[in-house]
């Protein structure tokens, strides 16, 4: 197996989803911290012109975008695993939640966390509005279910976990969402789970 190198930062939820899968697949890798200054260097920009983490280097192949990395790792190293179901309907459902991780989750709870914790110049009212619409939908979807797509954990769960779990770090409470809270616990109980470094909670919305 070729050497895997993950360029990441410790507090990145996007990077965390990749670390979760690497751990759960028991794949050895080297993690290189790529802080803001490193991401501006010509060497890093040659890997990802957008200057963003995570970036996975697998031999001569460079993969950017966290969800794309998840798909690469499963297809290359665990093609028969439950992480991306063979059943077409379940696979489509996984992709639907990957899209939500990049859409409603990124511009809802993740945006709120970026603003509260890192003073990122995004719109907090908009982030809260997106979260207020999405979280009840996610709660309803998870009612009576252990996982987002199918009967086993999939890439959908790994992609959506970190920023939803960290919603309180953006001032968005999860106390009204018991099914989401149970789902978070289900993910945390998976073999190979690794946590994301916690940050202090600001006043909740």
Chain segment 66-121, per-residue pLDDT in tens: 999 999 999 999 999 999 999 999 999 999 999 999 999 999 999 999 999 999 99
- The dihedral over CA atoms of 116, 189, 89, 77, expressed in degrees to the nearest 10, equals 100
Which of left, alpha, beta for 134 (phi over 0: left; psi -120 to 50: alpha)? alpha
Per-residue pLDDT, 1: 58
Question: pTM, whole model, 2 decimals?
Answer: 0.95
Q: In sequence order, which residues have a C-beta less than 8 Å from that of residue 178 and are 6 or more positions away?
A: 139
The stretch 121-147 carries a mean pLDDT of: 98
Q: How confident is the model at residue 42 (pLDDT cuts 50, 70, 90)?
A: very high
Q: Please provide residue 202's backbone torsions phi and psi, each rounded to the nearest 5 degrees.
A: -80, 180
Q: How confident is the model at residue 137 (pLDDT cuts 50, 70, 90)?
A: very high
* pLDDT higher than 80, residue 205: no
Model pLDDT for residues 2-22, shown as the tens digit of each residue: 699 999 999 999 999 999 999
Residue 179 exposed, middle or buried by CB count within 10 Å (0-12, 13-18, 19+): middle
Model pLDDT for residues 149-198, shown as the tens digit of each residue: 999 999 999 999 999 999 999 999 999 999 999 999 999 999 999 999 99
Q: In sequence order, which residues have a C-beta less than 8 Å from that of residue 205 and are 6 or more positions away?
A: 112, 128, 171, 172, 173
Per-residue pLDDT, 2: 66
What does the chain come to in residues? 205
Per-residue pLDDT, 204: 62
């Amino acid at each position: 197996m070729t050497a895997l190198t993950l360029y990441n930062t410790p507090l990145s939820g996007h990077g965390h989803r990749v670390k979760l899968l690497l751990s759960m697949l028991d794949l050895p890798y080297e993690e290189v911290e790529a802080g803001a200054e490193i991401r501006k260097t010509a060497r890093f920009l040659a890997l990802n012109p957008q200057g963003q983490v995570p970036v996975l280097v697998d031999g001569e192949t460079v993969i950017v975008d966290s969800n794309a990395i998840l798909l690469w790792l499963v297809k290359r190293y665990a093609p028969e695993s439950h992480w991306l179901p063979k059943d077409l309907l379940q696979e489509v459902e996984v992709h639907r939640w990957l899209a939500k991780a990049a859409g409603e989750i990124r511009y809802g709870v993740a945006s709120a966390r970026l603003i509260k914790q890192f003073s990122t110049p995004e719109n907090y009212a908009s982030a809260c509005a997106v979260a207020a619409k999405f979280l009840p939908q996610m709660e309803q979807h998870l009612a009576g279910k252990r996982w987002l797509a199918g009967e086993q954990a999939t890439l959908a769960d790994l992609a959506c976990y970190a920023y939803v779990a960290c919603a309180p770090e953006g001032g968005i409470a999860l106390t009204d969402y018991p099914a989401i809270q149970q789902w978070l616990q289900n993910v945390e109980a998976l073999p190979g789970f690794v946590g994301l470094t916690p940050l202090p909670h600001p006043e909740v919305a």
